[in-house]
């Protein structure tokens, strides 16, 4: 593990805020918001997870496709970009069946990050995705799973949360 000099941080900004009711400073991270997408096949019996190394878990994990919202970008545009990059599916290939309006705080005790959850469904199981367009440093591969398998292959919170949202829609 490397201890970082704060100016080396690219995605995280450490901040302090005085507690309005006590003489205490809160330490927290200013972080970009993100999107995460539960992708369903046409019959909504399977979902597409991506497998990649995650340093917080110190291993590869399966999770739903996700990504940071760029400055000035709307969450919906991030959805289209990230789904295309990580899965090869274009926006013409799917319909949105759920979109969180304001996003959900990831962990408001230490970060400003909100995640916007989307659930999308392919218009056909015959669609062949384009080649992935991964960002520098990304090394992932997508794999389909039956919906009832997801909780056995992923312990990623956003994945399980999105799956539960979908189950409550039905």
Instruction: Determine phi and psi for 30, rounding to 5 degrees.
Output: -85, 120
Cβ burial, residue 62 (10 Å; 0-12/13-18/19+): buried
Please provide the distance, in angstroms rounded to a whole number, between the alpha carbons at the two ends of the chain. 44
- Is residue 96 within 8 A of residue 119, CB to CB? The reply is yes
Residues whose CB is less than 8 angstroms from the CB of residue 169 and which lie 6 or more positions away in sequence, other chains included? 97, 98, 119
* The pair of three-digit structure tokens given for residue 74, joined into one six-digit string: 């709307």
At 123-139, the pLDDT tens digits run 999 999 999 998 787 88
Helices (H), 14-156: 75-87, 150-153
What does the pLDDT profile of the chain (170 residues) look like in tens digits? 444 466 666 666 777 778 888 888 878 788 899 999 999 999 999 999 999 999 899 999 999 999 999 999 999 999 999 999 999 999 999 999 999 999 999 998 888 899 999 999 999 999 999 999 987 878 899 999 999 999 999 999 999 999 999 999 97
């Amino acid at each position: 593990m490397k201890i970082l000099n704060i100016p080396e941080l690219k995605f995280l900004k450490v901040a302090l805020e005085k507690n309005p009711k006590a003489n205490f400073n809160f330490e927290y991270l200013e972080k970009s918001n993100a999107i995460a997408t539960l992708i369903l096949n046409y019959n909504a019996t399977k979902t597409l997870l991506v497998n990649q190394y995650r340093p917080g878990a110190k291993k590869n994990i399966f999770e739903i496709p996700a990504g940071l919202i760029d400055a000035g970008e709307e969450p919906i545009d991030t959805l289209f970009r990230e789904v295309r990059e990580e899965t090869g599916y274009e926006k013409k290939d799917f319909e949105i069946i759920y979109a969180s309006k304001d996003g959900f705080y990831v962990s408001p005790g230490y970060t400003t990050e909100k995640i916007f959850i989307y659930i999308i469904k392919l218009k056909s199981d015959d669609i062949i995705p384009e080649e992935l367009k991964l960002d520098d440093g990304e090394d992932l591969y997508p794999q389909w799973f039956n919906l009832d398998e997801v909780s056995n292959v992923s312990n990623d919170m956003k994945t399980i949360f999105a799956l539960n949202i979908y189950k409550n829609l039905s």
